[in-house]
Chain A
Amino acid sequence: MKWGILVFPGTWSDRDCMHALTTVLGQSARYVDHRETELSEFDAVILPGGFSYGDHLRCGAVARFAPVMEAVTRFADRGGLVLGICNGFQILQEARLLPGALLRNDSCEFRCEWVHLRVERAESPFTRECRPGQVLRIPISHGEGNFYADPDTLQSLEQGGQVAFRYSTPDGRVTGDANPNGSLRNIAGIVNARGNVLGMMPHPERACEPLLGGADGLWILRSALGTLVAA
Protein backbone atom coordinates (compact mmCIF):
# COMPACT_ATOMS: atom_id res chain seq x y z
CA MET A 1 0.00 0.00 0.00
CA LYS A 2 1.39 3.38 -0.82
CA TRP A 3 0.30 6.52 0.98
CA GLY A 4 0.93 10.12 0.03
CA ILE A 5 1.24 12.58 2.90
CA LEU A 6 0.63 16.12 1.69
CA VAL A 7 2.86 18.87 3.08
CA PHE A 8 1.81 22.50 2.85
CA PRO A 9 3.85 25.31 4.36
CA GLY A 10 2.80 25.20 8.02
CA THR A 11 1.68 21.55 8.06
CA TRP A 12 2.90 19.77 11.19
CA SER A 13 1.24 16.42 11.62
CA ASP A 14 2.89 15.15 8.45
CA ARG A 15 5.66 13.57 10.51
CA ASP A 16 3.18 12.02 12.94
CA CYS A 17 1.23 10.52 10.03
CA MET A 18 4.47 9.18 8.57
CA HIS A 19 5.37 7.61 11.91
CA ALA A 20 1.96 5.99 12.33
CA LEU A 21 1.84 4.64 8.79
CA THR A 22 5.41 3.42 8.41
CA THR A 23 6.84 2.69 11.87
CA VAL A 24 3.62 1.49 13.47
CA LEU A 25 1.76 -0.01 10.52
CA GLY A 26 4.64 -0.94 8.20
CA GLN A 27 3.15 0.83 5.19
CA SER A 28 4.99 2.59 2.43
CA ALA A 29 4.52 6.36 2.40
CA ARG A 30 6.11 9.48 0.98
CA TYR A 31 5.71 13.21 1.61
CA VAL A 32 4.07 15.09 -1.24
CA ASP A 33 5.04 18.73 -1.74
CA HIS A 34 2.18 21.21 -2.18
CA ARG A 35 3.56 22.08 -5.63
CA GLU A 36 3.32 18.54 -6.99
CA THR A 37 0.57 17.86 -9.50
CA GLU A 38 0.35 14.09 -9.80
CA LEU A 39 -0.89 11.58 -7.23
CA SER A 40 -1.48 8.52 -9.40
CA GLU A 41 1.30 6.52 -7.71
CA PHE A 42 -0.69 6.44 -4.44
CA ASP A 43 -3.47 4.26 -3.10
CA ALA A 44 -4.45 6.81 -0.48
CA VAL A 45 -3.53 10.37 0.43
CA ILE A 46 -3.63 12.17 3.76
CA LEU A 47 -4.04 15.90 4.29
CA PRO A 48 -2.47 16.19 7.75
CA GLY A 49 -3.09 18.67 10.53
CA GLY A 50 -1.24 21.89 11.12
CA PHE A 51 -1.63 25.56 10.39
CA SER A 52 -1.20 25.65 6.62
CA TYR A 53 -0.16 29.15 5.59
CA GLY A 54 -0.49 30.13 9.23
CA ASP A 55 -4.29 29.72 9.00
CA HIS A 56 -4.27 33.31 7.81
CA LEU A 57 -7.57 34.57 6.41
CA ARG A 58 -9.33 31.26 7.23
CA CYS A 59 -8.04 27.80 8.07
CA GLY A 60 -7.33 26.01 4.82
CA ALA A 61 -8.35 28.96 2.65
CA VAL A 62 -4.96 29.46 1.03
CA ALA A 63 -3.82 25.82 0.98
CA ARG A 64 -6.92 24.95 -1.02
CA PHE A 65 -5.38 26.75 -4.01
CA ALA A 66 -2.05 24.91 -3.86
CA PRO A 67 -1.26 23.08 -7.13
CA VAL A 68 -1.54 19.69 -5.43
CA MET A 69 -5.20 20.28 -4.63
CA GLU A 70 -6.26 19.89 -8.25
CA ALA A 71 -4.58 16.51 -8.18
CA VAL A 72 -6.40 15.67 -4.95
CA THR A 73 -9.72 16.48 -6.61
CA ARG A 74 -8.90 14.23 -9.58
CA PHE A 75 -7.67 11.52 -7.23
CA ALA A 76 -10.92 11.65 -5.24
CA ASP A 77 -13.00 11.66 -8.42
CA ARG A 78 -11.28 8.44 -9.47
CA GLY A 79 -12.26 6.88 -6.15
CA GLY A 80 -8.90 7.18 -4.39
CA LEU A 81 -9.02 7.32 -0.58
CA VAL A 82 -8.54 10.81 0.84
CA LEU A 83 -8.25 11.42 4.59
CA GLY A 84 -8.27 15.00 5.87
CA ILE A 85 -7.28 15.37 9.52
CA CYS A 86 -7.93 18.61 11.41
CA ASN A 87 -6.47 21.31 9.16
CA GLY A 88 -6.73 18.77 6.33
CA PHE A 89 -10.49 18.57 6.97
CA GLN A 90 -10.67 22.36 6.78
CA ILE A 91 -8.79 22.34 3.47
CA LEU A 92 -11.13 19.68 2.02
CA GLN A 93 -14.10 21.86 2.94
CA GLU A 94 -12.55 24.98 1.45
CA ALA A 95 -11.91 22.93 -1.69
CA ARG A 96 -15.58 21.82 -1.65
CA LEU A 97 -14.61 18.16 -1.53
CA LEU A 98 -16.63 18.00 1.67
CA PRO A 99 -19.59 20.16 2.67
CA GLY A 100 -19.90 22.54 5.60
CA ALA A 101 -17.36 24.67 7.42
CA LEU A 102 -15.50 24.68 10.71
CA LEU A 103 -16.01 27.68 12.94
CA ARG A 104 -14.15 28.82 15.98
CA ASN A 105 -14.68 26.55 19.00
CA ASP A 106 -17.64 27.79 21.03
CA SER A 107 -15.30 28.21 24.01
CA CYS A 108 -13.18 30.55 21.84
CA GLU A 109 -10.23 28.51 23.12
CA PHE A 110 -7.87 26.01 21.57
CA ARG A 111 -8.55 22.49 22.87
CA CYS A 112 -6.05 19.66 23.05
CA GLU A 113 -7.47 16.63 24.84
CA TRP A 114 -8.67 13.07 24.45
CA VAL A 115 -12.29 12.81 23.34
CA HIS A 116 -14.64 9.95 22.59
CA LEU A 117 -16.15 9.40 19.16
CA ARG A 118 -19.13 7.24 18.37
CA VAL A 119 -18.83 5.51 15.01
CA GLU A 120 -22.00 6.47 13.14
CA ARG A 121 -21.31 4.70 9.92
CA ALA A 122 -19.32 1.49 9.89
CA GLU A 123 -19.47 0.66 6.21
CA SER A 124 -17.28 3.50 4.94
CA PRO A 125 -13.76 2.64 3.75
CA PHE A 126 -12.37 4.33 6.84
CA THR A 127 -14.59 2.62 9.41
CA ARG A 128 -15.25 -0.80 7.94
CA GLU A 129 -13.29 -2.53 10.72
CA CYS A 130 -15.46 -0.83 13.36
CA ARG A 131 -18.83 -1.87 14.75
CA PRO A 132 -21.66 0.64 14.37
CA GLY A 133 -21.91 2.52 17.64
CA GLN A 134 -18.37 1.59 18.67
CA VAL A 135 -16.70 4.29 20.76
CA LEU A 136 -13.14 5.35 19.84
CA ARG A 137 -10.89 7.39 22.13
CA ILE A 138 -8.81 9.81 20.05
CA PRO A 139 -7.30 13.26 20.79
CA ILE A 140 -8.38 16.58 19.32
CA SER A 141 -6.12 19.61 18.95
CA HIS A 142 -7.74 22.63 17.36
CA GLY A 143 -9.10 26.11 17.82
CA GLU A 144 -11.57 25.95 14.94
CA GLY A 145 -13.34 22.62 14.87
CA ASN A 146 -16.91 23.73 15.41
CA PHE A 147 -18.74 21.95 12.58
CA TYR A 148 -21.33 24.02 10.77
CA ALA A 149 -23.57 23.35 7.78
CA ASP A 150 -26.83 24.93 6.76
CA PRO A 151 -29.99 22.97 7.60
CA ASP A 152 -30.42 21.50 4.11
CA THR A 153 -26.83 20.30 3.98
CA LEU A 154 -27.09 18.90 7.46
CA GLN A 155 -30.22 16.98 6.53
CA SER A 156 -28.64 15.55 3.43
CA LEU A 157 -25.55 14.52 5.42
CA GLU A 158 -27.71 12.71 7.94
CA GLN A 159 -29.94 11.08 5.35
CA GLY A 160 -27.04 10.03 3.19
CA GLY A 161 -25.30 8.41 6.15
CA GLN A 162 -22.36 10.76 5.68
CA VAL A 163 -21.81 11.50 9.36
CA ALA A 164 -18.86 9.27 10.23
CA PHE A 165 -18.24 10.20 13.88
CA ARG A 166 -19.96 12.14 16.62
CA TYR A 167 -18.43 13.35 19.88
CA SER A 168 -19.86 11.20 22.65
CA THR A 169 -19.45 10.13 26.23
CA PRO A 170 -17.21 7.10 26.91
CA ASP A 171 -20.33 4.89 26.83
CA GLY A 172 -21.50 6.30 23.50
CA ARG A 173 -24.13 8.85 24.45
CA VAL A 174 -24.16 11.95 22.27
CA THR A 175 -24.53 14.77 24.79
CA GLY A 176 -23.78 18.47 25.00
CA ASP A 177 -21.13 17.85 27.64
CA ALA A 178 -19.32 15.46 25.32
CA ASN A 179 -19.12 18.11 22.60
CA PRO A 180 -15.74 19.87 22.93
CA ASN A 181 -16.27 22.66 20.41
CA GLY A 182 -19.95 23.34 19.74
CA SER A 183 -20.19 21.26 16.55
CA LEU A 184 -23.72 20.95 15.20
CA ARG A 185 -25.15 17.57 16.18
CA ASN A 186 -21.77 16.71 17.77
CA ILE A 187 -20.36 16.02 14.31
CA ALA A 188 -16.63 15.17 14.48
CA GLY A 189 -16.13 13.70 11.01
CA ILE A 190 -17.99 13.31 7.72
CA VAL A 191 -17.50 11.43 4.47
CA ASN A 192 -18.50 12.48 0.96
CA ALA A 193 -21.47 10.84 -0.72
CA ARG A 194 -19.27 8.21 -2.32
CA GLY A 195 -17.55 7.49 0.97
CA ASN A 196 -13.94 7.70 -0.25
CA VAL A 197 -13.19 11.13 1.26
CA LEU A 198 -13.18 11.45 5.06
CA GLY A 199 -12.64 14.66 6.97
CA MET A 200 -12.31 14.58 10.76
CA MET A 201 -11.14 16.99 13.44
CA PRO A 202 -9.63 14.38 15.84
CA HIS A 203 -6.13 13.06 15.18
CA PRO A 204 -6.10 9.28 14.62
CA GLU A 205 -2.36 9.41 13.89
CA ARG A 206 -1.79 10.44 17.52
CA ALA A 207 -3.65 7.39 18.79
CA CYS A 208 -1.67 4.51 17.35
CA GLU A 209 0.47 3.41 20.31
CA PRO A 210 -0.54 2.50 23.87
CA LEU A 211 2.71 4.18 25.00
CA LEU A 212 1.25 7.54 23.95
CA GLY A 213 -2.07 6.98 25.67
CA GLY A 214 -4.15 4.88 23.30
CA ALA A 215 -4.30 3.07 19.98
CA ASP A 216 -7.90 3.54 18.81
CA GLY A 217 -6.75 5.55 15.81
CA LEU A 218 -5.60 2.25 14.31
CA TRP A 219 -9.27 1.30 13.77
CA ILE A 220 -9.49 4.05 11.18
CA LEU A 221 -6.12 3.56 9.50
CA ARG A 222 -6.54 -0.25 9.45
CA SER A 223 -10.00 0.12 7.95
CA ALA A 224 -8.44 2.08 5.12
CA LEU A 225 -5.75 -0.58 4.68
CA GLY A 226 -8.40 -3.29 4.57
CA THR A 227 -10.23 -1.32 1.92
CA LEU A 228 -7.14 -1.05 -0.17
CA VAL A 229 -6.41 -4.74 0.10
CA ALA A 230 -10.00 -5.56 -0.81
CA ALA A 231 -9.84 -3.22 -3.78
Chain B
Amino acid sequence: MTFRAEVFVTPKAVVNDPQGLTIRQGLRSLGFEGVQEVRAGKYLVLTLESPDRDTALARLDDMARTLLANAVIEDYRIEITAVRETVAP
Protein backbone atom coordinates (compact mmCIF):
# COMPACT_ATOMS: atom_id res chain seq x y z
CA MET B 1 0.00 0.00 0.00
CA THR B 2 1.02 3.59 -0.52
CA PHE B 3 0.92 5.92 2.44
CA ARG B 4 1.27 9.63 2.73
CA ALA B 5 2.94 10.63 5.95
CA GLU B 6 3.24 14.09 7.40
CA VAL B 7 6.02 14.63 9.90
CA PHE B 8 5.93 17.75 12.06
CA VAL B 9 9.25 18.60 13.69
CA THR B 10 9.16 21.33 16.33
CA PRO B 11 11.70 22.70 18.80
CA LYS B 12 11.20 21.23 22.28
CA ALA B 13 9.27 23.44 24.63
CA VAL B 14 12.35 24.09 26.78
CA VAL B 15 14.53 25.04 23.83
CA ASN B 16 14.85 28.68 22.91
CA ASP B 17 13.46 29.36 19.41
CA PRO B 18 14.86 32.65 18.09
CA GLN B 19 13.11 32.16 14.77
CA GLY B 20 9.72 31.80 16.48
CA LEU B 21 10.42 34.83 18.65
CA THR B 22 11.32 36.89 15.61
CA ILE B 23 8.15 35.86 13.81
CA ARG B 24 6.05 36.71 16.85
CA GLN B 25 7.72 40.11 16.97
CA GLY B 26 7.04 40.60 13.28
CA LEU B 27 3.36 39.74 13.73
CA ARG B 28 3.09 42.19 16.63
CA SER B 29 4.69 44.97 14.66
CA LEU B 30 2.20 44.32 11.87
CA GLY B 31 -0.62 44.80 14.35
CA PHE B 32 -1.61 41.16 14.91
CA GLU B 33 -2.42 41.40 18.61
CA GLY B 34 -2.79 38.54 21.03
CA VAL B 35 -0.24 36.15 19.55
CA GLN B 36 1.28 34.68 22.69
CA GLU B 37 3.77 32.30 21.22
CA VAL B 38 5.15 31.19 17.86
CA ARG B 39 7.23 28.06 17.47
CA ALA B 40 8.87 27.55 14.09
CA GLY B 41 9.56 24.01 12.96
CA LYS B 42 9.73 21.83 9.89
CA TYR B 43 7.02 20.07 7.98
CA LEU B 44 7.92 17.06 5.87
CA VAL B 45 5.68 15.06 3.56
CA LEU B 46 6.79 11.53 2.71
CA THR B 47 5.18 9.10 0.29
CA LEU B 48 6.11 5.51 1.04
CA GLU B 49 5.24 1.92 0.30
CA SER B 50 4.45 -0.40 3.18
CA PRO B 51 2.48 -3.63 3.67
CA ASP B 52 0.28 -2.05 6.34
CA ARG B 53 -0.26 0.98 8.48
CA ASP B 54 1.49 -0.25 11.62
CA THR B 55 4.63 -1.19 9.76
CA ALA B 56 4.63 2.18 8.05
CA LEU B 57 4.28 3.99 11.35
CA ALA B 58 7.08 2.00 12.93
CA ARG B 59 9.40 2.75 10.04
CA LEU B 60 8.51 6.43 10.08
CA ASP B 61 9.16 6.57 13.80
CA ASP B 62 12.57 5.04 13.19
CA MET B 63 13.29 7.56 10.42
CA ALA B 64 12.26 10.43 12.65
CA ARG B 65 14.42 9.28 15.52
CA THR B 66 17.41 8.55 13.31
CA LEU B 67 17.47 11.47 10.91
CA LEU B 68 14.43 13.70 10.60
CA ALA B 69 14.51 15.11 14.15
CA ASN B 70 17.31 15.72 16.62
CA ALA B 71 16.13 14.40 19.99
CA VAL B 72 18.38 16.85 21.83
CA ILE B 73 16.38 19.84 20.69
CA GLU B 74 13.35 18.66 18.72
CA ASP B 75 10.05 16.80 19.14
CA TYR B 76 8.15 15.21 16.29
CA ARG B 77 4.66 14.06 15.48
CA ILE B 78 3.61 11.77 12.62
CA GLU B 79 0.28 11.68 10.80
CA ILE B 80 -0.34 9.02 8.21
CA THR B 81 -3.04 8.30 5.62
CA ALA B 82 -3.39 5.52 3.08
CA VAL B 83 -3.31 6.93 -0.44
CA ARG B 84 -4.19 3.88 -2.55
CA GLU B 85 -3.95 0.15 -2.63
CA THR B 86 -1.65 -0.36 -5.55
CA VAL B 87 0.78 1.84 -7.34
CA ALA B 88 1.16 2.31 -11.03
CA PRO B 89 4.74 3.11 -11.96
A148 and B18 within 8 A (CB): no
Decide yes or no: A93 and B72 within 8 Å by CB, A61-B67, A65-B67 being known contacts. yes
In this complex, the member of A58, A108, A149 whose beta carbon has the largest number of chain B beta carbons within 10 angstroms is A58
Range, interface on chain A: 20 to 34
Asked if B19 is at the interface (CB within 8 A of a chain A CB), the reply is yes
B18 and A105 within 8 A (CB): yes
Consensus secondary structure, chain A interface: loop
Asked if B47 is at the interface (CB within 8 A of a chain A CB), the reply is no
Contacts of B11 in A (CB 8 A): 103
Q: Give how many B residues have a beta carbon under 8 Å from the other chain's beta carbons.
A: 14
Pick the contact of A100 from B14, B19, B72 — CB < 8 Å?
Answer: B72
B50–chain A nearest beta-carbon distance, Å? 22
Q: Which residue of B lies closest to A94 (CB)?
A: B70
A and B contact pairs by CB, cutoff 8 A, 23 listed: A57-B42, A58-B70, A61-B67, A62-B67, A65-B67, A99-B72, A100-B72, A101-B72, A101-B73, A103-B11, A103-B18, A103-B73, A104-B19, A105-B18, A106-B16, A106-B18, A107-B18, A146-B16, A148-B73, A149-B72, A150-B14, A182-B16, A182-B18
Listed in ascending order, the chain B residues whose CB lies under 8 Å from chain A are 11, 14-19, 22, 42, 67-68, 70, 72-73
Using A58-B70, A101-B73, A103-B73 as known contacts, list a sample of 13 further A-B pairs with CB atoms less than 8 Å apart, ordered by residue number in A: A61-B70, A100-B72, A101-B70, A101-B72, A103-B11, A103-B17, A103-B18, A104-B19, A105-B18, A108-B18, A150-B14, A150-B72, A182-B16
